[in-house]
């Protein structure tokens, strides 16, 4: 995580959930999905959860980061592998969940109102369910009604599990849980030298934009208005208009939370890269597909070989904008238009976008985590995936 801004924030960090901007500290993460079965009991339990300050805010995250550093400095001589026991919690509601609680105000976003399940085939191109072509071929649990998601993070699975039990105890009224558990998915930071990388082997979580009032931009980064991420703040505008979108006052400093469980077929990916690349060029071919080398260094700045120095330098890792020469093909010599990074709008994908905010106002913040086991020797040998693994893509932004 980049350092928070050194100047006093103009936004109250204590009113913003911690995973939205800086991300919750984590080695393990569990997303637990529920339906609300007792509205009155749920309201009472939620009020208790808030009053006990169990929901982790952005202010809490800043303190946790300092405490973690101090813990490592004091006890382990700044050992990055030293782990302090810690647990965090954030909460997100679906539009169905808000309606269940009697909140039917228009939040100003049709995609949120409709729900991802109902739009995934047409809007996202997800594979269709054979028996019901209008529905996506998702894990069946995600087709159930989901009202609320509890987002737990911690130093290990055991810590998170104990906190889930504790929270479910709070949401138990007269001996009965006021919630019905629908599904749970768990993610874990990869071990050892793979820490921070997704299962394909690429460094993740590098291109989050600098939000004004939260951190100062590094070289190559463009300051992004807070309303691109936070409801009700400057930049929370509709299209080219500079007028704020009309939203209920209680949504101020909230955001739209998106979770995608993305399966990664690792041995097949490695086999594809090896087959399609020239001899001794598999790393380069994979890097040009992604737009970054596995270290995180950009292909644009380093078109022929990896550069660990770039990957570790906050003033180099995002210091590029794909502008070179007058030829329309020249930029692709450094990084193809088809590269994942150029399609993500996290970095300027190419020249020619109209208006000063065309790209920055479309940006998102990501805080994903891998799920599933490490690649087995049997899978590597057979070049076939047998274990479910991938990325839990977690994002906060306003325009879905």
Where a domain ends, among 188, 220, 251? 188
Q: How confident is the model at residue 326 (pLDDT cuts 50, 70, 90)?
A: very low
pTM for the model stands at 0.85
| 6 located within any domain | no
The pLDDT of residue 336 is 83
Phi, psi of 396 (to 5 degrees): -125, 130
For residue 151, give the CATH number of its domain: 3.30.70
Query: What percent of the chain shows pLDDT beyond 70?
Result: 88
Which residues share a beta bridge with 177?
A: 172
pLDDT on residue 5: 46
The domain containing residue 37 runs over which residues?
13-94+146-188
Mean pLDDT of the residues in the chain: 88
User: Of 188, 212, 242, which marks where a domain is finished?
Assistant: 188
Nearest C-alpha neighbor of 392 from the set 151, 159, 165: 151
The full DSSP string for 164-179 is: HHHHHHHTEETTEESE
Tokens at residue 20, please? 């939205």
Does residue 280 surpass a pLDDT of 70? no
By CB neighbour count within 10 A (0-12 exposed, 13-18 middle, 19+ buried), where does 194 fall?
Answer: middle
Three-class DSSP category at 327: coil
Same domain, 150 and 29: yes
Q: What is the total count of domains within the chain?
A: 2
In a domain, residue 270? The reply is yes
pLDDT of 8:
40
Same domain, 183 and 43: yes
Which spans in the chain are helix H? 39-51, 58-76, 95-100, 110-114, 116-124, 157-170, 266-276, 282-290, 308-311, 330-334, 340-343, 377-382
Q: Is the pLDDT of residue 75 over 90?
A: no
User: What pLDDT, on the 0 to 100 scale, is given for residue 220?
Assistant: 82
**How many other CB atoms are found less than 10 A from the CB of residue 386?**
9
Q: Please list the active-site residues.
A: 204
The per-residue pLDDT for range 111-166, each reduced to its tens digit, is: 999 999 998 999 889 999 888 888 999 999 999 999 999 999 999 999 999 999 99
59-63, 161-165, 279-283, 309-313 — which is least confidently predicted?
Answer: 279-283
Task: Say yes or no: 319 and 367 in one domain.
Answer: yes
The pLDDT value given to residue 237 = 87
* 229-242: average pLDDT: 86
Calpha distance 156→307 (Å, rounded)? 32
| Residue 341: predicted pLDDT | 82
Could you tell me which residues come within 8 angstroms of residue 157 by beta carbon, excluding any fewer than 6 positions away? 28, 30, 186, 188
The yes-or-no verdict on residue 355 having pLDDT over 60 is no
Mean of pLDDT values over 236-248: 85
């Amino acid at each position: 995580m980049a350092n928070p801004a050194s100047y006093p924030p103009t936004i109250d960090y204590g009113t913003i959930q911690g995973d939205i901007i800086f991300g919750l500290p984590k080695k393990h993460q569990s997303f637990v999905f529920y339906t609300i079965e007792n509205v009155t009991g749920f309201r009472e339990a939620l009020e208790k959860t808030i009053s006990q300050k169990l929901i982790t805010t952005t202010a809490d995250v800043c303190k946790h980061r300092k405490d973690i550093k101090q813990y490592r400095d004091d006890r382990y001589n700044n050992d990055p592998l030293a782990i302090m026991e810690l647990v965090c919690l954030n909460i997100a509601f679906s539009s169905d969940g808000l309606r269940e609680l009697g909140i039917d105000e228009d939040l100003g976003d049709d995609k949120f109102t409709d729900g991802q399940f109902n739009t995934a085939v047409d809007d996202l191109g997800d594979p269709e369910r054979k028996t019901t072509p209008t529905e996506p071929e998702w894990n069946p649990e995600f087709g159930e009604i989901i009202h609320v998601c509890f987002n737990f993070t911690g130093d290990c699975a055991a810590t998170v599990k104990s906190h889930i039990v504790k929270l479910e105890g709070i949401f138990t009224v007269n001996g009965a849980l006021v919630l019905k558990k629908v599904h749970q998915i768990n993610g874990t930071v990869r071990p050892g030298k793979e820490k921070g990388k997704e299962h394909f082997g690429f460094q993740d979580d590098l291109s989050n934009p600098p939000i004004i009032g939260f951190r100062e931009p590094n070289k190559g980064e463009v300051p992004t208005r807070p309303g691109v991420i936070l409801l009700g703040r400057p930049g929370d505008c509709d299209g080219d208009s500079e007028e704020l979108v009309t939203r209920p006052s209680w949504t101020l400093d909230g955001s739209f939370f998106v979770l995608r469980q993305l399966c990664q077929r690792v041995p097949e990916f490695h086999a594809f890269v090896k087959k399609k690349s020239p001899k001794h060029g598999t790393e380069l071919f994979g890097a040009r597909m992604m737009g970054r080398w596995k270290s995180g260094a950009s292909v644009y700045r380093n078109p022929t070989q990896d550069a660990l120095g770039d990957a570790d330098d906050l003033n180099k890792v995002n210091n590029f904008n794909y502008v070179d020469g007058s030829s329309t093909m020249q930029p692709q010599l450094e990084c193809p238009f088809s590269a994942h990074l150029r399609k993500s709008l996290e970095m300027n994908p190419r020249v020619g976008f109209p208006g000063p905010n065309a790209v920055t106002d479309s940006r998102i913040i990501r805080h994903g985590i891998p799920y599933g086991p490490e690649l087995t020797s049997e899978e590597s040998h057979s070049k076939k995936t047998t274990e479910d693994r991938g990325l839990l893509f977690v994002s906060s932004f306003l325009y879905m």
